[in-house]
A and B are shown apart, each in its own frame.
With several copies, the nearest count.
Chain A
Amino acid sequence: MKIQEYQAKQIFQKYEIPIPRGQVALNASFVRQIAEDLGDKVVVKAQVLVGGRGKAGGIRLADDPDEAEDIATEMMGMEINGFPIHKVLVEEAVDIKKELYLSIGTDRMNATPVIIASEYGGIDIEDAAEEAPEKIARIPIDPMVGLCDFQIRGLAVSIDLPRKHWKKFAQIANALWQIYQNDDASLVEINPLVISEQNGLMALDGKMTIDDNALFRHPELADLRDLDMENPSEVEAQKYGITYVHMTGNIGCLVNGAGLAMATMDILKLKGGEPANFLDIGGGAGAEKVSSALRILFSDPQVKAVLINIFGGITRCDEIAHGITAAIAEQKKLKVPLVIRLVGTNAEEGTKILEKQKLPIAHSLVEAAEKAISLSGVKKK
Chain B
Amino acid sequence: MSILVDKNTRLLVQGITGKEGLFHSELMRTYGTNIVAGVTPGKGGEWVLDEKIPVFDTVQTAVQTTEADASVIFVPAKFAFDSIYEAIDAHIPLIICITEGIPAMDMLKIKSLLKTSESILIGPNTPGVLTPGECKAGIIPGNISIPGSTGMISRSGTLTYEVLYAMKAKKLGVSTCVGIGGDAITGTSFIEMLSMFEQDPDTEEIVLIGEIGGNEEELAADYIMTEMTKPVIAYIAGITAPKGKRMGHAGAIIEGRAGSALQKIELFRKAGVKVAEYPEDIPALL
Contact = CB atoms under 8 A, between A and B. Distances in A.
* A touching B, CB within 8 angstroms: yes
B162 A157 contact: no
A354 B88 CA distance: 47
Nearest to B106: A214
B159 A157 contact: no
B35 interface: no
**Which of A151, A184, A313 is packed against the most chain B CB atoms within 10 Å?**
A313
**Which of A186, A216, A278 is packed against the most chain B CB atoms within 10 Å?**
A278
Given A143-B108, A150-B86, A344-B144, A157 B57 contact: yes
Contact of B44 (A109, A157, A255, A282): A157
A216 B278 contact: no
Interface string B200-230: 0000000001011011000100000000000
A91 B209 CA distance: 49
B266 interface: no
A143 B247 contact: no
A135 interface: no
A26 interface: no
B71 interface: no
Contact of B247 (A126, A157, A217, A258): A258
A266 B112 contact: no
Nearest to A111: B111
Interface in A93-112: 106, 108-109, 111-112
Interface string A147-162: 0111101101100000
Interface stretch (B1-9, B47-55, B170-178, B249-257): B249-257
Closest 8 CB pairs of A and B: A259-B156, A258-B248, A257-B158, A259-B159, A214-B103, A150-B86, A262-B237, A260-B158
Interface of B: 20, 41-42, 44, 57-61, 77-79, 82-83, 85-86, 89, 101-105, 107-109, 111-113, 127, 139-141, 144, 154-162, 165, 182, 184-185, 209, 211-212, 214-215, 219, 235, 237-242, 245-252, 255-257, 261, 277-280
12 contacts: A111-B107, A144-B109, A148-B86, A153-B58, A154-B58, A245-B245, A262-B247, A262-B252, A263-B235, A280-B247, A283-B157, A344-B161
